[in-house]
Structures are given as C-alpha cells and as structure tokens.
C-alpha cells in the first residue's frame, strides 16, 4: 500500500524552481508538486489537459490571448494543445495532475526541460 503524502513536508525537501517532483501516482497519471518563481517558457501539450492547483502564492497562466490568475486553493485545467506560459512574480507552490508521460516543456523542448523525477 502507498504512503500518505503531506504536501508541506514534501515541499520542504527541495528548493529548486521549475523542477516538478512526482509525489504520487494515480493509474497512469502523476501527482506532482513544484516551486515556481519567474517566467517559464511558452509551450503546449498536444496530447493532454493539465491540472494546476495553487497551494501558496499567486500564479499567472498566460495564453496567447488572455491569462488566468490563480491564488491559493484555486485550480485551472489548461486544455490540451493550448499554448500557455506560467509566470510567478512571487514564489508559488503548485500541485499538478497530468499523465505520467507529460514533459514539463511540452513540445517546446529546450533548456528548461527536465526528466520525470520522483521526490
């Protein structure tokens, strides 16, 4: 049987920004946590939606037209194929749910791409 995950304890184990940690698995989906600060790259995931739930801080998800701003206990599902860019003007603690094969930079690739990583 799996163990429970305390999100605050899990968040306390790392400080890096933009490197999600998988803390649990749900069928072929990952539950990931991440710390964000600054601007990420424009990217999209043509094969999947992506769930963002803000745990602390304020996250802006920019789209080519418009943006959504999320505070603590607010969630948003970015639809598959929609280009987006997460921006955190202050540090954000985030929970993500997405298929385990999902790459952080989607099809954009580049230097900000990181491999799937368990806590």
Helix (H) or strand (E) holding 9: helix 7-11
Segment lying near its own copies (by CB under 8 A), choices 14-22, 36-44, 95-103, 107-115: 95-103
Shortest spacing between CB 16 and its own copies, in angstroms: 21
The radius of gyration of the chain's CA atoms, rounded to the nearest angstrom, is 13
Does 67 sit near its own copies (CB under 8 A)?
A: no
Q: Answer whether 21's CB lies under 8 Å from 15's CB.
A: no
Among 15, 46, 66, 111, binds its own copies (CB under 8 A): 66
Does 107 sit near its own copies (CB under 8 A)?
A: no
Among 13, 77, 81, 101, binds its own copies (CB under 8 A): 77
- Alpha-carbon distance 66 to 91, whole Å? 22
If the CB atoms of residues 18 and 52 are measured against its own copies, the closer one turns out to be 52
Residue with tokens 């969630």: 75
Residue 116 phi, psi (nearest 5)? -55, 135
Does 42 sit near its own copies (CB under 8 A)?
A: no
State both tokens at 54.
């803000």
Does 99 sit near its own copies (CB under 8 A)?
A: yes
Site residue total, its own copies (CB under 8 A): 36
């Amino acid at each position: 049987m799996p163990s429970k995950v305390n999100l605050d304890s899990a968040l306390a184990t790392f400080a890096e920004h933009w490197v999600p940690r998988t803390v649990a698995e749900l069928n072929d989906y990952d539950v990931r946590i991440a710390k964000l600060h600054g601007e990420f790259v424009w990217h999209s995931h043509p094969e999947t939606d992506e769930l963002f739930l803000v745990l602390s801080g304020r996250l802006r998800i920019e789209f080519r037209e418009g943006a959504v701003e999320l505070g603590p206990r607010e969630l948003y599902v970015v639809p598959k194929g929609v280009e987006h860019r997460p921006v955190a003007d202050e540090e954000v603690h985030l929970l993500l749910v997405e298929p385990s094969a999902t790459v952080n930079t989607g099809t954009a690739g580049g230097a900000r791409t990181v491999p799937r990583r368990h806590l």
